[in-house]
Amino acid sequence: MVFWISLCFILAISTSVSAIWSSQVQRQYIQDIGFVAVGVRGGLHMLINRLYYLLPFCSIICYFIMFHHFKRVGQQSSNLAVSSQNSGPRKIFVQMITASCYGAMAIFVEFVYFFGLYEWSYEHQLIFINLVTISNYLPEMSFPFLLLLQLIRIPNRIHMMLGSEIRNQNIT
């Protein structure tokens, strides 16, 4: 376990340093935006980013396989309690949604570079930078938000608030 954590740490540091060094990235202050990392085109920056963009998509595939495996195992074993059968697929589904958000961000960035949207006018670039800044936080916000939604169990609360009227209607 320590080996894998160390390997990931070394890989992250080495790719970050090589991307910054090869693209000559510098921090500049722009009046309307604040500090921005600016570098020359080329270098290893885009190659390293694209390699890291593969991680969310590979994660989605793995989560999808695990999700279906746990669903199948849960259907085969009817001796377990219902809450423990649904716990695994729910957690995997939340992580699959979060990885999808990261994947959507990667697709968005590639779309911008492919169509050259970064060469717009200054006003459009300000709007674009603000949208990217806000959307970068969506994956981090989706994970705890979806976990909270699981804990609340909204349909059960609605049934409890409406009381026995729903129970009487369901019996037909």
Q: What is the pLDDT of residue 1?
A: 82
Q: What are phi and psi of 80, to 5 degrees?
A: -75, 160
Tell me, yes or no, if the pTM score tops 0.75.
Answer: no
Per-residue confidence (pLDDT) for residue 85, from 0 to 100: 52
| pLDDT tens for each residue of the chain, 172 residues long | 889 899 989 988 998 898 888 888 888 888 877 887 788 877 788 888 888 888 888 888 988 888 888 878 776 665 555 555 556 777 777 788 888 888 888 888 788 778 877 777 777 777 777 787 787 787 778 777 777 776 776 666 555 555 544 444 444 4
pLDDT of residue 76: 66
State the pLDDT at residue 35: 83
Q: Which is it for the CA torsion 123, 124, 128, 129, positive or negative? A: negative
Q: With 0-12 CB in 10 A as exposed, 13-18 as middle and 19+ as buried, what is 91? A: middle
Q: Which residue ranges make up each domain of the chain? A: 1-43, 49-170
| pLDDT score at 115 | 81
